[in-house]
Chain A
Amino acid sequence: MTLLSHRRLSNFMDLERMRQELLSLRVVLTKSIHVCTGPGCAAKGSEKLYELFCEAVENADADVEVQAKGVGCHGLCEYGPIVIVQPGEIFYQRVEEPDVPEIFRETILRGRVVDRLLYEDPATGKKAKKAEEIPFYKVQQRIALAYNGLIDPTKITEYIAQGGYSALAKVLSSMTPDEVISEVEVAGLRGRGGGGFPTARKWRSCREAKGSPKYVICNGDEGDPGAFMDRAIMEGNPHSVIEGMLIGAYAIGSEQGYIYVRNEYPLSVERLRGAIEQAKELGLLGESILGSSFSFDIRINRGGGAFVCGESTALMASLEGRPGEPRSKYVHTVESGLWEKPTNLNNVETWANVPHIINRGGKWFAGTGTEKSKGTKVFSLVGKIRNTGLVEVPMGITLRRIVDEIGGGMRDGKRFKAVQTGGPSGGCIPAEHLDACVDFDELTKLGSMMGSGGMIVMDEDTCMVNVARYFTEFLQKESCGKCTTCREGLAQMLYILDRITKGEGEVGDVEELGNLAELLEGTALCALGKTAANPVMSTIRYFRDEYDAHILDRRCPAKECRGLFRYEIDPEACKGCGICLKNCPEDAIAGERKAPHVINQEKCTLCGTCWEKCPFTAVLKV
């Protein structure tokens, strides 16, 4: 292996030869343990599991041929840490450190399945041995995430063995830049970062733009709260992004690329950096790639923790070492972007789709999806849902199938209220529109948007006014302050929403919010401001009754807004255990042991400690 990894590939045949060699080596190793080290599983301690499996592999008898690898996100984060054992693709969930020796002994050495670690269907009680038997995976279709969970993202050899960089070889050896752009056009690929702009059109404009050098940028500043699709791709399969950028750069005529990664994603930076280094060693990045006349290099820049830098012109300002303030776009960035040169910016997921389109053809890609939205889309499916995680679904699937079939329905038997898509620029879609399908234009019609792929499910306990307030506060804090409507308009909207959630709303507030929203949409400088009112307007559109309840009745129907509901103890359910009394920071609870307790409403500050601590759910919100 070491011999292979240090050889520079000087032509297309070398790449294919290397792939064949890697495949033949792999035949020997039929046994492998894949430990998920994605964001969710890593947060649950999977790095340690990986170390333990590596130790077990090292200490095993010499005749046991097995390897352990840390792989990217499998998707079903809710049940993490996830470990998959080959052969048999045995899917173990919620694996803990003490399970490691058992898995190694039983499954690796004796070929037996450890039954208790298998996924069990909560509805039927049926156990699933492989991922594909689990409903969560059945409906999914993976393109951008195809190799996530299969390959070790720290080894370029794993990517190459799966056919990685063959799309690059194909492009360099047999396609003109125009043919590449046409193929992407046939695929109907649209930008996955949120706007949904046709990728091929952007590439062509940049190719035709005057000026040199030209730049390509990968936007990995995944700022939407509640979204981690790009993180999972950058960390789970960084080479797919690099290969996509290489192909785009060739089509556009660029020699320098940048990947802009969020400051909060240190592991993404590490993985990409390692991947770039390895690609350089093999001659897949740098001068005369694969012996051709095409040269391309990539630099990584870390963001500084500013949401607005996800906006293309702000991102470019940041790359120039300035505060990330957007500019108006009457001159497009494809003509004058970074350092006032033609610049093509695409999102991580968009780039990751490109190698697949080249390898399998634009027609194949366009075979999935709706008339105007082709291919698949990755979503981070999170919130008050049973199966939280990362999912990739064909465009055109209904929201209902995502929530019910993949997500497994609501958690704790609660009622569905809304699904929020599109991050802070998106909106909340209520139950009556759950049969709408995932499609750029359809979601926009509903007052939301596709966005980069956050999908947050909310239940009856979520106050929609508070959700609107949350996003408005988020955007108000993140507004760069360059244009007046965004800086002042959002502050005013937040002021009004704050009053409403405190029970100080007035008749006419909702209309005032509408006026401000219109002003923002019409006059703000960049997409952050233009779309900032979406969360407010979509909640007013579908949940006007909740606004009215806050304003007219001084009541929060979801019982979330402090001051607009009370805590009371249900005397029937209270066992008089005294836990609430002991934990109340204000001494507002009284009662004898083993007799129902009472809350003194005058003293109560509504901190909710009693509600949280009560083991018998006797504390109620009324």
Chain B
Amino acid sequence: MADEDKLIEQIVDRYDAEIGMLIPMMQDLQAECGYLPVEHLRRLSVQLKIPLSRLYAVATFYASFQLAPKGAHEVTLCMGTVCYLKGAPRISEAISREFRVEPGGTTRDRLFTFQAVNCMGACAVAPVMVVDGKYYNGVTPASALDILYGLAKDKATAENENEI
């Protein structure tokens, strides 16, 4: 518990406890924890002397905030106009079908969190998919699945090694 307090304190100090910097504070917290744990948010609201409901309003308004933990990998599929025209919906369908995960969700084995975003600004090389910060351009349903199977395979190998 003490660690949590310390983390919140650090973040609040970083922005001189200025309420206008609430969103950056929550972004830092999410960067640190991977999501926004309720207990942390409660402490943040106490420190800033603002109601928890206001933090909740912010957390649910902005698409980038997550209130639940994410998967081991982050898979982001661009659904911007150009990617859409060039077949992104079919990629999304293929991923949903194969891994039983809807955009915004996480696979049951927590292998990856699947996000569909509006535009990543790499329209010239559409369709674009980003896995853990690495860009893949000109993606097709087949190549997207290959990439994601790669993640599953890496995980299986790692687990096997641990068992040995």
Contacts and interface: CB of A to CB of B under 8 A. Distances in A.
Contacts of A609: 141
A605 B19 CA distance: 53
A608 interface: yes
Contacts of B79: 225
B121 A228 contact: yes
A321 B20 contact: yes
Interface string A287-330: 00000000000000111111100000000001111111000000
A568 interface: no
A467 B27 CA distance: 33
Given A302-B23, A388-B123, A462 B137 contact: no
A609 B117 CA distance: 24
A306 B81 contact: no
A570 B18 CA distance: 67
Which one of B23, B27, B90, B136 has the greatest number of beta carbons of chain A within 10 Å?
B23
B80 A302 contact: no
B116 to A, nearest CB: 10
A542 B140 CA distance: 31
Interface string A57-99: 0000000000000000000011010000000000000000000
Contacts of B37: none
Interface stretch (A122-130, A172-180, A378-386): A378-386
B100 to A, nearest CB: 14
Given A321-B58, A454-B81, A40 B124 contact: yes
A607 B84 CA distance: 16
Contacts of B54: 322
A305 B119 contact: no
Interface in B1-53: 19-24, 27
A565 interface: no
A480 B63 CA distance: 12
Contacts of B20: 319-321, 339
B65 A44 contact: no
Given A224-B119, A225-B80, A302-B24, A608 B63 contact: no
Given A321-B22, A324-B61, A223 B119 contact: yes
Contacts of A146: none
B118 A225 contact: yes
Interface string B70-96: 000000000111101110001001000
A470 interface: yes
B64 interface: yes
A248 B135 CA distance: 36
Nearest to A43: B135
Interface range, B side? 35 or more
A301 B119 CA distance: 19
A471 B119 CA distance: 13
Contacts of B144: none
A389 B124 contact: yes
A304 B125 contact: no
B135 A42 contact: yes
Contacts of A471: 81
Contacts of A608: 90
Contacts of A301: 21, 23-24
Interface string B139-156: 011100000000000000
Contacts of A78: 124-125
Which one of B84, B86, B121, B140 has the greatest number of beta carbons of chain A within 10 Å?
B121
A302 B124 CA distance: 24
A265 interface: yes
Which one of B61, B93, B120, B142 has the greatest number of beta carbons of chain A within 10 Å?
B61
A231 interface: yes
B158 interface: no
A227 interface: yes
Nearest to A263: B64
B135 A225 contact: no
A318 B23 contact: yes
Contacts of B120: 39, 264
A420 B23 contact: no
Given A43-B128, A456-B85, A304 B63 contact: yes
A612 interface: yes
Contacts of B93: 607
Contacts of A104: none
A305 B123 contact: no
Contacts of A384: 85-86
Nearest to A320: B20
A458 interface: yes
B23 A305 contact: no
B62 A382 contact: no
A44 B125 contact: yes
A228 B85 contact: no
Nearest to B60: A323
B61 A40 contact: no
B57 interface: yes
Given A302-B27, A304-B27, A321-B21, 17 more contacts: A39-B122, A44-B125, A78-B125, A226-B82, A227-B123, A228-B124, A301-B23, A302-B24, A304-B58, A304-B62, A306-B63, A323-B57, A384-B85, A456-B81, A462-B85, A470-B81, A612-B90
Complex A-B, nearest 9 residue pairs according to Cβ-Cβ distance, in ascending order: A304-B62, A77-B124, A321-B22, A225-B80, A228-B121, A305-B63, A323-B61, A43-B135, A305-B64
Interface of A: 39-40, 42-44, 77-78, 80, 222-228, 231, 263-265, 301-307, 318-324, 339, 380, 382-384, 388-390, 420, 454, 456, 458, 462, 467, 470-471, 474, 478, 480, 607-609, 612
17 contacts: A39-B121, A39-B124, A42-B135, A43-B122, A43-B125, A44-B137, A223-B118, A223-B119, A224-B119, A225-B119, A226-B81, A264-B118, A304-B64, A318-B23, A321-B19, A382-B126, A389-B124
Interface of B: 19-24, 27, 54, 57-58, 61-65, 79-82, 84-86, 90, 93, 117-126, 128, 135-137, 140-142
